[in-house]
Amino acid sequence: MVHPVINMRRLLKKRSVLMLFPILLVSVAISGPSGNTNQNKRLVSVAGVGDIMPGSSYPSARYLPPGDDPAAFISEAAGFLKEADIAVGNLEGSFLDYGEPYKKCRDTTICYLFRIPERYSSVLSKCGFDFISIANNHFLDFGYAGATRTMKILDSLGISFAGTETVPYSIIVRDSLTFGFCAFSTTTGSVILHDYGRAEEIVRALDKKCNIVIVSVHAGAEGASYQRVVKGQEFFYGENRGNVYEFAHRMIDAGADIIFGHGPHVPRALEVYRERLICYSLGNFFTYGRMNISGPNGLAPVIIVNTDTEGRFVSGTIHSFQQTYQGPVRPDPLRQAVKKIRELTLLDFPETGPQISDNGEIKPV
């Protein structure tokens, strides 16, 4: 029997060859004077959401949504993703119909492993996702079988992904603009964010080839007790979850244009640094069945970031949604996500945070 690691490497090797073609198109896509005024005035919209886990068949099928149609649970939010030029999210788990956990979990009531049915992958394409991060602590819950199956499925759907050492980035050419995407985490199997040199190398390479570089970072402590951005290392159950503040700034220094944070399962503040927007955490977007969605964990913001063609932040909007217990992701008339993100932004970045209005409009200071 061929070892699963070898199978994975072969798969990723084939994918890396495919990734060369958009790179070759870059010189055509962005040809012309960099100071083209009309091009710079064009607005580009990038939608970002938090963690996505539409239901797990492990340890029991009772954790799957009723009707076996997860797309119906986020239909009201999907329109904002489809309307954007680019939509980005974090897949918290892997697509696999059968298989045993790679990780040890003696008590499934206190530890969580996510095996998402393969048929649920269609929810990503139905929502219009373009880039998916697979850099997180649940992508390898079911080992290389889950990882390789997930990447094959995403490829078949035409959804680009990034976050492993063998697939550290992806590139999309669309409407004469080139978008680069890379993803980082503190978890083995991902591109490790603690290695700043490696992360900066990836971002610089993308910056040379792309008009707009988007970074996803899965880091930071988890839950309602960790909503604030700290300017130092964060630890959770003894694990070093990184210095998200320093990492985000260094990635922008290296050439990143938008930072989307994932991992804390709650929204965090926004900051504008060097005319680029940092979303320190987008919380949970659609996490059915096995995740805590009480209080701030249930807030599901959809953020639209508008930039010029060089990635400078121009404006944005936070659309407030909320997860409901065993129900759909619904628009929140109380706009709790907007209120929470604005509150945290004023606390954590009184000088460098953007202006956020009552209805969720975002503007640079």
So what's the pLDDT on residue 40?
Answer: 65
Query: Which secondary structure element, helix H or strand E, spans residue 179, and what is its range?
Result: strand 177-185
Computed over every residue of the chain, the mean pLDDT equals 90
To the nearest whole percent, how much of the chain has pLDDT over 70?
A: 88
Mean pLDDT score, 180-207? 98
- What is the CA 244 to chain-centroid distance, rounded? 14
pLDDT per position as a tens digit, 198-240: 999 999 999 999 999 999 999 999 999 999 999 999 999 999 9
pLDDT tier for residue 109 given thresholds of 50, 70 and 90: low
So what's the pLDDT on residue 103?
Answer: 72
Give dist(CA 210, CA 180) in Å, integer: 6
pLDDT per position as a tens digit, 323-346: 999 999 999 999 999 999 999 999
Nearest 5°: phi and psi at 78? Answer: -60, -30
Measure Cα distances from 140 to 92, 113, 143, 241, 333 in Å.
Answer: 10, 9, 5, 17, 37
Which has more pLDDT, 45 or 20? 45
So what's the pLDDT on residue 111?
Answer: 76
Domains defined along the chain, listed by start: 46-363 (3.60.21.10)
Mean pLDDT score, 131-143? 97
Task: Find the DSSP H helices in the chain.
Answer: 4-18, 20-29, 37-41, 75-83, 122-127, 143-157, 196-209, 244-254, 336-348
Q: Name 86's Cβ contacts closer than 8 Å, sequence gap at least 6.
A: 44, 45, 46, 47, 130, 131, 172, 174, 179, 212, 214
To the nearest whole percent, how much of the chain has pLDDT over 90?
A: 84
Q: What is the DSSP string of 96-159?
A: -SS---SS--S-TTTS---EE-GGGGHHHHHHT--EEE--STTTTTTHHHHHHHHHHHHHHHT-
Asked if the model's pLDDT at residue 315 lies above 80, the reply is yes
Which has more pLDDT, 28 or 234? 234
So what's the pLDDT on residue 39?
Answer: 59
Asked if the model's pLDDT at residue 354 lies above 80, the reply is yes
Asked if the model's pLDDT at residue 348 lies above 60, the reply is yes
Q: Which amino acid is at 6?
A: I
So what's the pLDDT on residue 41?
Answer: 83
Asked whether 289 and 55 are in contact (CB, 8 A), the reply is: yes
Which has more pLDDT, 225 or 106? 225
pLDDT per position as a tens digit, 266-311: 999 999 999 999 999 999 999 999 899 999 999 999 999 999 999 9
Show the tokens assigned to 177.
């603009």
Q: Which of 17-21, 107-111, 251-255, 313-317 has the lowest mean pLDDT?
A: 17-21
Angle between helices 196-209 and 244-254 (to 10 degrees): 40
Asked if the model's pLDDT at residue 253 lies above 60, the reply is yes
Which has more pLDDT, 34 or 139? 139
Asked whether 84 and 47 are in contact (CB, 8 A), the reply is: yes
